[in-house]
Amino acid sequence: MPKKKYLLLFCSSFCPMLHAQTPDMMPEGSTDIDLGVAALIAPSYEGSDKQKFYLLPFASVVWSNGVFLAPGEIGLRLPSPQHLQYGPLLSYELQSNRTDRNASSSLVFTPGAYFNYRLDHQLGFRSRLDYGAASLHQGIRLHLASWFSMPLAPHQSLSAELGLTLANQRYMQSYFGISPEQTMNSGLPAYAARAGIKNTYLQVGWNMELSPKYDFSTRLSINRLWGSAASSPLTTKTNTVSLMSSLTYHY
């Protein structure tokens, strides 16, 4: 894969490990910018038994008007109480046909929306829904997750997140199904994927504030495929582990 596509692959596959921070109370006209670099070991694609190492830069920007930009997504926080965050979201990812070894990849933008609810500073809920992913741009995904964080020591904290993704038949067939025509390119038997739970995951993380400007974090994510995703001939491993460490500079 050309080097210029590594960042797109990072955005589509590993951005759940780098959650965008939608804006809270910010002075009018201000901008919050984070720049960083991430080192990670992860499957080459979802359901793969092969691991790859990536060293990639990333950036996120939050404006006081509610607009935010992060790896893999662009969004807007609509006016809401402090414990609620919701608004439109535009995701982008690298989409390829896994059943065709010679297929090219393309950047796909998927519109959607998000809704986050925070019980307090240590416990909350995330959700996002998008439509337009996969072939024919008719894939629907619903992502649900709950998170917890707690201080560990001065300038250190622990976090945990448990989540799942549901998808419609169009999405599942595009990424895990094999049509009769595609069997000629893949050499695999035809397979019809069904709608349902695509995956669940557990993520634990440790964060350390090195200074007012620098943060260091490490996250371990355990992912499991279910249903048609797990049974697909394209899936060689249903349980996978990803490990990422990142250094962030607050500009």
Stretch among 35-44, 118-127, 133-142, 194-203 having the lowest mean pLDDT: 133-142
- Asked whether residue 27 is domain-assigned, the answer is no
* CATH assignment at residue 213: 2.40.160.40
Phi–psi pair at 227, nearest 5 degrees: 55, -135
- Asked whether residue 197 is domain-assigned, the answer is yes
- Asked whether residue 93 is domain-assigned, the answer is yes
CA distance 237 to 239: 6
- Asked whether residue 87 is domain-assigned, the answer is yes
Mean pLDDT of 139-159: 94
Largest CA distance in the chain: 59
- Asked whether residue 20 is domain-assigned, the answer is no
- Asked whether residue 26 is domain-assigned, the answer is no
Q: Which residues contact 52 (CB under 8 A, 6 or more apart)?
A: 41, 42, 43, 44
In which band, very low, low, confident or very high, does the pLDDT at 7 lie, cut at 50, 70 and 90? very low
Whole-number pLDDT of residue 18: 57
Q: Which residue range forms the structural domain that includes residue 81?
A: 3-15+32-250
Q: Which amino acid is at 8?
A: L
Q: How many domains does the chain have?
A: 1
Other beta carbons less than 10 A from residue 87's beta carbon: 18
Residue identified by tokens 């990670």 is 40
67 burial level (CB within 10 Å; 0-12, 13-18, 19+):
middle
- Asked whether residue 22 is domain-assigned, the answer is no
- Asked whether residue 24 is domain-assigned, the answer is no
Whole-number pLDDT of residue 26: 72
The predicted-structure confidence for 48-79, as pLDDT tens digits, reads as follows: 899 989 898 999 999 999 999 988 899 999 99
Q: Which residues contact 3 (CB under 8 A, 6 or more apart)?
A: none
